[in-house]
Amino acid sequence: MMSYKTWLLAVMLLWPMLGFGQSYEKEFGVAFAWEVKQVDEFIERFNNDEFSFIREYLKKNESTSALTRERMLKSLFNAKGTNWNYNEITAFIKQVNNAEKPQYLDLDSSNWYANVQCLVTNHGKPEKALLKLKIATLPDGSSKWVIADVSLPGQASAPAAANAGPRVRGPKPADAKASLNPMSHAIDFMNIDLVTKKPENIENFVDDAPDRSRSLDWFVGACLKNQLKVVRATSISYTFLQIKGWQIEVKQFHRQSLNSGWLISKLVKLS
């Protein structure tokens, strides 16, 4: 049986370790709470949603009296960025946080884009491609993600060649329900391979505008010929054009920090 002195010595040795463990657990919990885990959460915080995850957390653990929308907006910028124009950031926050005309982001708007870097096979060879996706609203009020444009390094001449020929349209989709559901961004477009899994449904996955880009025409033609296959998404960023006069670019930053997750990586003032 352990003697009292032995037990006391063990407690004295272990107590700092227990304290460290509790401190680390608290620190980890705070960092997890502040991490912007999904783009939906980024939009909630940008809009200062009173039911956002961070506000619910702070209600239980801290006073929220000092958590103004200005502070919330500032927390959404990548603090480790080195090329910020702080005068522009100040002007941007002042415009968005205007008391009379506050401005917000809209998840259901078409005026934001997912820039999805993908691994593809082109004539059987692995390549990289950038798919630019947007939200399309359907006649019944539902929505889906569709490809608005495509860029393949080394294929710059393909869209130019397509410009000289007729527009390319795929057949009426065999499966009208085949599509990228509107929450595909929440799973980091893990389902992006659906785009070319069945080429006969390709028109369900691309912008159907009559004046869509020639690059997209080329993409559709290559898919219909089974020359191009989308394998998987490798990285994602988002572009928002919903705040008048500004372009907001958002990327994910993986780090153990209060300033992590989906953050503003670039702010461009538009003329």
Q: Are residues 211 and 183 in the same domain?
A: yes
Residue 132 lies in a domain: yes
**Could you read off the pLDDT of 251-260 as tens digits, one per residue?**
999 998 889 9
Q: Are residues 226 and 257 in the same domain?
A: no
Q: Are residues 116 and 81 in the same domain?
A: no
Q: Are residues 196 and 130 in the same domain?
A: yes
Q: Are residues 160 and 229 in the same domain?
A: yes
Per the prediction, the chain carries an average pLDDT of 86
Structure tokens at 189: 């477009």
Closest by Cα among 8, 12, 30 to 256 = 30
Mark residue 53 as left, alpha or beta (left: phi above 0; alpha: psi -120 to 50; beta: remaining). alpha
Residue 192 lies in a domain: yes
In the chain, what's the furthest Cα-to-Cα distance?
91
Q: Are residues 20 and 97 in the same domain?
A: yes
Question: Residue 115 in 3-state DSSP?
Answer: strand
Residue 244 lies in a domain: no
Q: Are residues 100 and 80 in the same domain?
A: yes
Q: What is the pLDDT of residue 64?
A: 55
Closest by Cα among 189, 161, 174 to 224 = 174
Residue 2 lies in a domain: no
Q: Are residues 42 and 82 in the same domain?
A: yes
Residue whose structure tokens are 């500004």? 246
**Could you read off the pLDDT of 133-159 as tens digits, one per residue?**
999 998 888 999 999 999 987 665 455
**Could you read off the pLDDT of 97-145 as tens digits, one per residue?**
999 999 999 988 889 999 999 999 999 999 999 999 999 998 888 999 9
- Domain span including residue 210: 112-238
- Residue 41 near residue 228 (C-beta atoms within 8 A): no
Task: Please list, residue by residue across 200-237, b when 16 or more beta carbons sit within 10 angstroms of its beta carbon and e when fewer do.
Answer: ebbbbbbbeeeebbbbbbbbbbbbbeeebbbeebeebb
Distance CA 76, CA 211 (A): 36
* 207 phi, psi to nearest 5 deg: -60, 130
Closest by Cα among 101, 105, 23, 25 to 72 = 105
State which H helix or E strand residue 230 sits in.
strand 228-240
| 3-state helix, strand and coil shares in percent for the chain, rounded to the nearest 5 | 35, 25, 40
Angle at the Cα of 117 from the Cα atoms of 112 and 121, rounded to 5 degrees:
135
Closest by Cα among 265, 269, 256 to 33 = 256
**Could you read off the pLDDT of 3-27 as tens digits, one per residue?**
544 444 443 444 444 343 444 345 5
Residue whose structure tokens are 């990289």? 128
Closest by Cα among 252, 186, 259 to 30 = 259
Q: Are residues 255 and 220 in the same domain?
A: no
- Residue 205 near residue 179 (C-beta atoms within 8 A): yes
Distance CA 9, CA 4 (A): 9
Number of domains in the chain: 2
Select the more confidently predicted residue: 63 or 235.
Answer: 235
What's at 141, amino acid-wise? G
Q: Are residues 159 and 227 in the same domain?
A: yes
Q: Are residues 121 and 203 in the same domain?
A: yes
**Could you read off the pLDDT of 214-226 as tens digits, one per residue?**
899 999 999 999 9
Select the more confidently predicted residue: 242 or 51.
Answer: 242
